[in-house]
């Protein structure tokens, strides 16, 4: 089959490059922009001292319009997105995030006095002094675990169930070694599982079969299917029960997978390395969820920390 012939009226693409503070990358930074069309032809590979660039690109009116966009700058992890469907009728915008190759967390917006009010279930079982001590110890000694907790709770707050959000049902975090860089365990109002089951009936979640194979002791699990990447998975342990303040509770185990399925389409250089280390990396989740949200046009994913 002969190659597709582009239409004379081009597609318009704007690429914006942000850093881990969720602001446009610093002015004067040299960013390498690479753009590949759906025919796997590289049309652009050039560095610019700009955080936002506009491109006029061929319009094929077929699969050739499914573009790949990649950005890179020295000392940062490469990021990109595909497919980016382009049209000659309306401009398309792609927002991407670059974080340092050796990222650090800045939790200045997440002090104990604020977080105990925003996330009362992290403080519900102890005195304020003990709660502060273990929270600040987590911040100091296991920053990835705290970042994961903040990623998950921020994402859960953006899931709208028939009644409230998953965050509204959390009662008491289990503070032990299971509070890790990829998940946490928490007692929740047992009604949450019915809310998630109802959400699945309305295409908000998809059931994860065989959840006990990957989550020891699990009885049921559902994964959010809103985005191509960084969807929340809620796994329930219904045999672990407790009554908290008169509410019948079971254990829920939230985590976030990088991709919805094997056909996932975000390109991030660090992902293969992170996967081989075994545990989901909260920095990767932060980037993936932010990019996915921008592409979907939903409120910004903005946990109370930044990456510098």
The model's pLDDT over 205-258, given as tens digits with 9 standing for 90+, comes to 999 888 877 788 999 999 999 998 899 999 999 999 999 999 999 999 999 988
Predicted pLDDT at 258: 84
Q: How far apart are CA 152 and CA 121, in angstroms?
A: 14
Predicted pLDDT at 39: 97
Q: How confident is the model at residue 277 (pLDDT cuts 50, 70, 90)?
A: low
Predicted pLDDT at 212: 76
Predicted pLDDT at 265: 38
CATH 2.60.40.3700 in the chain is located at 7-98
Identify the CA nearest to 83 among candidates 97, 103, 64, 99: 64
- Average pLDDT in the 42-59 region? 97
Angle at 195 between CA 118 and CA 166, to 5 degrees: 15
Predicted pLDDT at 89: 95
- pTM assigned to the model: 0.91
Domain 7-98 has CATH 2.60.40.3700: yes
| DSSP state letters, 25-88 | PPTT--EEEEEE-TTS-EEEEEEES-SEEEEEEEE-SSGGGEEEEEEE-TTB--EEEEEEE--S
pLDDT over threshold 60, residue 175: yes
Q: Which helix (H) or strand (E) holds 10?
A: strand 7-19
């Amino acid at each position: 089959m002969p190659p597709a012939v582009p239409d004379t009226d081009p597609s318009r693409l704007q690429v914006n490059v942000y850093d881990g503070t969720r602001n446009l990358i610093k002015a004067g930074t040299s960013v390498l922009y690479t753009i590949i069309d759906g025919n796997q032809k590289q049309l652009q590979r050039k560095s610019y001292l700009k955080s936002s660039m506009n491109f006029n690109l061929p319009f094929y009116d077929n699969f050739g319009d499914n573009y790949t966009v990649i950005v890179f700058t020295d000392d940062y992890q490469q990021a990109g997105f595909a497919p980016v469907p382009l049209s000659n009728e309306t401009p398309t915008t792609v927002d991407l995030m670059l974080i340092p190759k050796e990222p650090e967390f800045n939790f200045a917006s997440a002090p104990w006095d604020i977080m105990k009010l925003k996330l009362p279930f992290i403080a519900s079982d102890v005195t304020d002094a003990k709660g502060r001590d273990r929270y600040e110890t987590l911040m100091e000694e296991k920053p990835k675990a705290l970042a994961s907790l903040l990623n998950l709770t921020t994402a859960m707050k953006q899931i709208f169930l028939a009644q409230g959000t998953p965050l509204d049902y959390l009662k008491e975090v289990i503070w032990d070694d299971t509070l890790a860089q990829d998940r946490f365990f928490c007692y929740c109002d047992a009604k949450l599982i019915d809310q998630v089951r109802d959400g699945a009936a309305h295409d908000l979640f998809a059931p994860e079969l065989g959840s006990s194979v990957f989550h020891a002791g699990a009885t049921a699990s559902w994964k959010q299917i809103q985005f191509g990447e960084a969807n929340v998975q809620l796994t329930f342990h219904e045999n672990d029960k407790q009554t908290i303040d008169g509410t019948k509770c079971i254990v829920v185990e939230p985590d976030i997978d990088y991709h919805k399925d094997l056909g996932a389409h975000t390109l991030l250089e660090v992902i293969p390395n992170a996967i081989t280390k075994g545990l989901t990396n909260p920095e990767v989740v932060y980037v993936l969820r932010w990019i996915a949200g921008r592409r979907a046009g939903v409120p910004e994913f903005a946990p109370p920390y930044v990456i510098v």
